[in-house]
Chains A and B, each alone.
Chain A
Amino acid sequence: MRNKLNVYSPYVIMLLPLLVIYSVFYIVPLIYTAIYSFTDWSNYSSAIQFTGLSNYRKILEDNTLFVGVKNSLVYAISTVILQNLIALPVAVLLNSKLKFRNGFRAIFFSPAVLSTLVVGFLWSYMLSSSDYGMLNKLLASFGIGPVNFLGDPDTALTAIILTQVWQWFGWAMVIYLANLQSISEDLYEAASIDGAGRLQQFFSITVPQLAPAIKINLITGMISGLKVFDIVVSLTKGGPGYSTETILTLMFSKFSEGNYGYAASFGIVFLMLSLALAALLLRTFKIWEDRLN
């Protein structure tokens, strides 16, 4: 027992790269951000001074952050719901003996490998309200429009949401497919002997059995939904006005203006929000799972 350190040292050495990189580039920045959110750190003066809660007070006075928080939340919730409402039934269909199902899977997943930035640029051309916009051209042939999708505050956020549902439902679908493969056929056989119809089987067997995948999709979808950035940059640039700004696009503009301390306080608000949301989701799932068991 005396040479305890010797026995353990190879373990410590193998842990070291992980611990050092993770601490320096993840934990320390987190602490720094918290500290600098209480300062006036900026591009304009070299001295950094503690200013107490003034950044947070400024947030309360500045309406734009509320718009950003609201948009991020609306975006995250709507995208997650729509994506999963499409992905789950599609996965169930593609898990049955459908012709060409592997081809469908590959096609539906494919937008997920495209860069979100480029997807945003592509849709900005397709949704354009000028004569060149493909979608408006299509609508015009039915005698509708033109609709200024991206220029109208009411439709711009919806456009962002729909392009992202288009891009990412395939990812959620694949996660449902993984889960579906682990559901035992016996459950369905027993149910059909009991005389349960297809629809009834879907709601009483498939959906509860998919609880793990639903949980993963909703939680990761919510967290990545709050991080929405690339699509806004390329599709609407936060406009028209501030109507599609999100927490991260606002944080980036404060950063670009050189107001680093203020931008840091946005990060802390973001942290609080995502923690609260994750806690809420986990709690909800616990209640659901308890009821299932």
Chain B
Amino acid sequence: MKTTSFSERFIPIVSFLLMCGLTLIIAVPVYYLVVTTFKTSYEAAVSPLSLPSSFSFNAYVDAFVKMEYPRAFMNTFLITAFSVAGVILSASMGGYVLNRKSGSKWGKIIFIFILAGIMFPYQMSVLGLYKVVQSLHLMNTLTAVILINIAVNIPFATFMFRSFVSTIPGELEEAAKIDGAGFYRVFWIITFPLMKPIIATVAILNALTIWNDFMGPLYFIQSREKNVILQEVYRNVGQFSTDWTSMFPMMVLGVLPLLAFYLIMQKYIIGGVMNGALKG
């Protein structure tokens, strides 16, 4: 016979209510952000939390045009895609070599050299970076931001790839080599596909931070036709104004791509953060 004590029944209910309260705290600002986009400035000021009296997407159309959204989106997308691809290619090859050669002296030295990058935040060397970018004539190019993103994210990604490669048995590669496959062929046909789980984790973690990076483009992209979504938000919303109707749709357009990505990929994104933490 089992008696459920008072606290046994009580705790789940209280916990559930607590979680509902926390949900409200998270949800209200987001609800407010979205709902204000459909209101006139007057309506937004008088009844901030009510549902809008009418739904019109005109304000979104205006914001879309004013932000040159398709262009800004494309720039953000190119930066993110090429940076993530660059991190994965360089860190998977590098992590693989550093794992298979972890017994050798130079393998150890290079690994420590790269690991040092996890401890130093790159922001402190942004002025040296400015000088490097200048002397390579890459100022005001997407390429500069992409290369910087790759370099910044290499240390952690290499660390993850290097530990993951331990789970791939070397016998597989040996067998393929005996069958006559060359070194690079073995890597790309056998090893690389087996890295899928860690590739997904690195891709998700990097895509989130790179898409939302504001400081990199702020320092290294000056002209409007090359700027990213967040720079468009910054130049338009930067001045506090009570013209709610034009500001709020821009803010929504600023977060919409990643939010949509999150709604679709929620399970994988949370899984990616969990994975990244466990390995790190």
A residues engaging B (CB < 8 A)?
10-11, 14-15, 17-19, 21-22, 24-26, 28-36, 90, 93-94, 96-100, 104-118, 121-126, 128, 130-132, 134, 137, 166, 170-171, 174-175, 177-179, 182, 198, 213, 216, 223, 226-227, 229-230, 233-234, 248, 251-252, 255, 260, 263-264, 267-268, 270-271, 274-275, 278
Are the CB atoms of B126 and A15 closer together than 8 Å? Answer: no
Picked from A32, A117, A123, A124, the residue with its CB within 8 Å of the CB of B125 is A32
B19 close to chain A: CB less than 8 A: yes
B120 touching A21, Cβ below 8 Å:
no
Contact A21-B97, Cβ < 8 Å, known A118-B255, A174-B273: no
Contacts of B208 in A (CB 8 A): 112-113
Task: Give the number of chain B interface residues (Cβ < 8 Å).
Answer: 92
Given A93-B18, A98-B12, A106-B266, are A213 and B277 neighbors across the interface (CB < 8 Å)?
yes
Bound-complex Cα distance A17 to B3 (A): 65
Chain B 6-47 against A: per-residue CB contact (8 Å), 1 yes, 0 no? Answer: 010001100110110011011101101100100000001100
Report the Cα distance A264→B124, complex, angstroms.
8
B195 within 8 A of A: no
Asked if B96 is an interface residue, CB under 8 A from chain A, the answer is yes
* CB contact list, B211-244 vs A, under 8 A: 212, 214-215, 218-219, 230, 233-234, 237-238, 240, 242, 244
Chain B, range 178-237, C-beta contacts under 8 Å to A = 183-184, 187, 208, 212, 214-215, 218-219, 230, 233-234, 237
How far is the CB of A124 from the nearest CB of chain B, in Å?
6
Is A105 a contact partner of B270 (Cβ separation < 8 A)?
yes
Task: Identify the closest chain B residue to A8 (Cβ).
Answer: B101
Besides A22-B117, A118-B251, 8 new A-B residue pairs in contact (Cβ under 8 A), listed by A number: A22-B151, A29-B129, A98-B16, A108-B22, A114-B30, A132-B45, A166-B25, A174-B270
Asked if A26 contacts B131 (CB within 8 A), the reply is no
Contact between A275 and B119, CB atoms less than 8 A apart: yes
- A110 touching B262 by the CB < 8 A rule? yes
B141, CB-defined interface residue at 8 Å: no
Flag if B255 contacts A99 (CB, 8 Å).
no
Whole-angstrom distance from the CB of B20 to the nearest CB of chain A?
9
Asked if B44 contacts A267 (CB within 8 A), the reply is no
Cβ-neighbour of B93 out of A14, A30, A177, A267 (below 8 A): A14
Query: Does B278 interact with chain A (Cβ within 8 Å)?
Result: yes
Cβ contacts under 8 Å, B117 to chain A: 22, 26
Query: Interface majority SS on B: helix, strand, loop or mixed?
Result: helix
**Smallest beta-carbon distance B209→chain A, Å:** 10
Q: A18-B90, A32-B132, A114-B255 are in contact. Are A122 and B121 (CB under 8 A)?
A: no
12 A-B Cβ contacts within 8 A? A11-B97, A25-B132, A29-B125, A30-B128, A33-B129, A115-B214, A118-B254, A125-B240, A126-B32, A234-B234, A260-B130, A278-B119
Asked if B22 and A270 sit within 8 Å, CB to CB, the answer is no
Q: Mark B85-117, 1 if CB is under 8 A from A, else 0.
A: 010011101101110110000000010001001
Contact present for A121 and B251 (CB under 8 Å)? yes
Are B262 and A21 neighbours in the complex by a CB distance under 8 Å? no
Contacts of A30 in B (CB 8 A): 120, 124-125, 128
B274 near A174 with CB under 8 A, answer yes
Determine which of B44, B96, B128, B258 lies in contact with A132 in the assembled complex, contact meaning CB atoms within 8 Å. Answer: B44
With A93-B15, A104-B19, A175-B277 already in contact, the answer to whether A263 and B127 are too (CB < 8 A) is yes
Say whether, besides A126-B32, A248-B123, A267-B125, A94 and B19 are in contact (CB < 8 Å). Answer: yes
